[in-house]
Structure 1
Amino acid sequence: MNTPYDAEKIARELDWNLLRTFMVIVQEGSITRAANRLLLQQPSVSQALQRLEARIGTTLIDRAPSHFRVTSAGQMLYEECAQIFGTISRAVQTAQTTTDELTGHVTIATLSRVESPHFDQILSDFHSQHPQVRFDIDVLSSKAVQKAVLEKSASLGLCLVYDPHPKLEHSIMYRAYFGFYCGPSHPLFGKTGLTLDDLRGHSSISFRTDQLTDALRPVALVRAQHRLDERVIGYTSHLGEALRMITAGLGFGPLPSHTADQYVAQGQLWRLPPYENMFEIDIYLVHNPNARLNTAETAFFDKLNDWVSATDLEERTYFPAH
């Protein structure tokens, strides 16, 4: 068992490349895939893991020819390493952005099709003021967005939130209303006066967060109450792919009304019940208060956060068209 002195000594003497190799092994879920990603031979990667475990004095990954499992100690070490490497990356960016003109790199992790004219205007205004700042926008699932912000690989995130992470700060970016829609080839397309019970028995499309224990709980609750989840034939984490499957006639499914309205007007979607009391869903701005942001990240986050703080929620709400 390592004493506090031992831990301090290990930190001073440890080869940090071993930690980097360990992170990649966990991310890839395989020593072979990790070796391919690192452009190393498999025995070298395996030996690096063995050296790290021997130096720390505990098993980090249970492994066998048909078995690979990260231990609780390994998971804790991985999470710490991810944050350390995120901090180092940000420190380098900060050192590179010390000119009079604002430069730097802003990474935004977002769920797909965040459609907000307000956000678009903020992005446009910021670029006009600081044209040298570069943006990298990664489209991820909501859980992956929070993970990226937590690990400091993203400057900020835009996502659904069901279970807020205690180490992150969350504020409502905007509010949307979801409803059920179907495409032109669906049997219910063009029909009026329907009830939720009329949807029963029809195939449907579902978001992965469309669960009773996730961010689209209001949608999942109605599905369960009216037994609309018996024939789910399409799952996705991306709004664009849900829209594709729904318009292609694979089934009906939930979409944000301010996204769907234009397709309804073009005859590509049809609004289904509930016609009143649509599902109220919030999109959050997620920030890691422990992340050391570079000057560009700080300026963009402040601009976005200031708008959220100064604007009433009703003005940040996209109501359905009637």
Structure 2
Amino acid sequence: MTTPSHPSPPRTSSRPLSERVDWNLLRTFQVVAQELSISRAAARLHLSQPAVSQALKRLEEQMGTALVERHGPRFSLTRSGIEALRVATELQGQFAQLDAALEQSSGQVVGRVRLLTVSGIQCPPFDRFLAQLHRDYPGIALEVEVQSSDAIVSALAQKTATFGLAVHRVAQPWMGQSWLTRERYGLYCSDQHPLFGRKDLSLDDLRHEHLVSFAGDLLGGTLSALAEFRGRHALDGQIIASSANTQEVLRLVLAGFGIGCLPEHLCERGVSEGTLWRLPPDDSVCEIDIHVLWNLEQRLTMAETVFLQGMKALNDEQVSNICK
């Protein structure tokens, strides 16, 4: 049996709902509803958890109904909450259209672009693109947040972010994509591991070693190429530590928790400094493509359109360089 987060407050005002509701609270609720977590919503909004909880409570008081139901540490949306989320999403789209209209009337390109990205990407052409974008359009503010590929795709589907840099394996009819770069992965251990420095190793010697993996490193997942490699070579050691963040996987490997597959560019410094050791095979374990992703059904502001046009031009440049 489920219970509301707190009893539904009575409607004490005859004023229309549109006059009672604080739109900032509705935006906070939208993030809470998308994350289904006060802590994750607080992190996204750069607020404290008590502040988010208080905002949710105030909105429920203003609307005169409960929007969420508690299930122990988890919660779900009530019928009123589902409807409130639908309206909040529509309003966000309307404000985006207003933003675009104001940009067009002012003749200037200003606005915010929200970009979600997986961690650890190394792509000098993309860095040059960002520098040129800032020089040409100083009015564009870029908000960058690191998330897993699965979380990025989910956010794009819900239109809570405009663009994502992620690993993408399954085509979606609503999704646009443009290739950005290719990462090559190798297998590594650190100077805290017993295999460090050994040049006589083969893949057979690694079969039962403890593993550090990515959270999406599962068959059918975004990084399933890594799981396929392990299965192909019978690397069946226990997964002793994992993370969705590349930098944290590297940290765990450096701490000696186990061996792990990591992007080669991220490990070059550790290898040269003697804190990381390249394990078999000598060739790359796999190659994984990073794409720029966006929702084809989302109406873009002028700032977002400029960003997308630049990313498509970057893709043309990248593909042209590969073909030379």
Could you tell me the TM-score, scaled by structure 2's length? 0.77
Counterpart selection for 2:225 from 204, 218, 234: 218
Give the superposition deviation at 1:236.
0.6
Counterpart selection for 1:133 from 133, 136, 140: 140
What count of residue pairs does the alignment treat as equivalent? 293
Tell whether the 8 Å contact from 1:149 to 1:287 is kept in structure 2 after alignment. yes
Give the superposition deviation at 1:74.
8.7
Distance 1:33 1:146, change over 3 A: farther
Give the superposition deviation at 1:93.
3.0
Q: Match of 1:276, SS?
A: coil
Tell whether the 8 Å contact from 1:181 to 1:271 is kept in structure 2 after alignment. yes
State the AA in 2 paired with 1:140.
Q
Alignment partners' CA distance in 1, 2:321 and 2:236: 32
Q: Match of 1:221, SS?
A: helix
**Residue by residue, what CA displacement relative to the aligned partner does 1:55-96 show, whole Å, maximum 9, x if unpaired?**
xxxxxx77667884458x899868855642441342243244
Give the superposition deviation at 1:156.
0.9
Counterpart selection for 1:273 from 280, 290, 300: 280
State the AA in 1 paired with 2:33.
V
Counterpart selection for 2:292 from 285, 292, 300: 285
State the AA in 1 paired with 2:199.
T
Q: Does 1:258 align with 2:265?
A: yes
Over aligned residue pairs, what C-alpha RMSD do you find?
3.4
Alignment partners' CA distance in 1, 2:220 and 2:278: 26
Q: Does 1:142 align with 2:159?
A: no
Counterpart selection for 2:129 from 117, 122, 143: 122
Alignment partners' CA distance in 1, 2:192 and 2:297: 50
Tell whether the 8 Å contact from 2:26 to 2:88 is kept in structure 1 after alignment. no
Tell whether the 8 Å contact from 1:25 to 1:34 is kept in structure 2 after alignment. no
Give the superposition deviation at 1:273.
1.5
Distance 1:275 1:80, change over 3 A: farther
Tell whether the 8 Å contact from 1:211 to 1:220 is kept in structure 2 after alignment. yes
Tell whether the 8 Å contact from 1:201 to 1:228 is kept in structure 2 after alignment. yes
Distance 1:94 1:229, change over 3 A: farther
Alignment partners' CA distance in 1, 2:54 and 2:236: 40
Alignment partners' CA distance in 2, 1:125 and 1:133: 12
Counterpart of 1:319 in structure 2 is: none
Any stretches of 5+ residues in structure 1 without a counterpart? 1-12, 51-60, 317-322
Counterpart of 1:91 in structure 2 is: 97
Counterpart selection for 2:57 from 40, 43, 54: 40
Q: Does 1:110 align with 2:127?
A: no
**Residue by residue, what CA displacement relative to the aligned partner does 1:234-286 show, whole Å, maximum 9, x if unpaired?**
11111111111111212111111122223212222111122125311111110
Alignment partners' CA distance in 2, 1:313 and 1:252: 36
Counterpart of 2:177 in structure 1 is: 170
Counterpart of 1:249 in structure 2 is: 256
Q: Match of 2:306, SS?
A: helix
Counterpart of 1:230 in structure 2 is: 237
Q: Match of 1:138, SS?
A: strand
Tell whether the 8 Å contact from 2:150 to 2:222 is kept in structure 1 after alignment. no
Distance 1:129 1:219, change over 3 A: same
Could you tell me the TM-score, scaled by structure 1's length? 0.77
Greater Cα shift, 164-173 or 151-160 = 164-173
**Residue by residue, what CA displacement relative to the aligned partner does 1:107-166 show, whole Å, maximum 9, x if unpaired?**
111111221111101101111112222111011111111122222222211001133332
Counterpart selection for 1:156 from 163, 167, 188: 163
Give the superposition deviation at 1:294.
1.3
Q: Match of 1:97, SS?
A: helix
Tell whether the 8 Å contact from 1:21 to 1:49 is kept in structure 2 after alignment. no
State the AA in 2 paired with 1:222.
F
Tell whether the 8 Å contact from 1:19 to 1:81 is kept in structure 2 after alignment. no
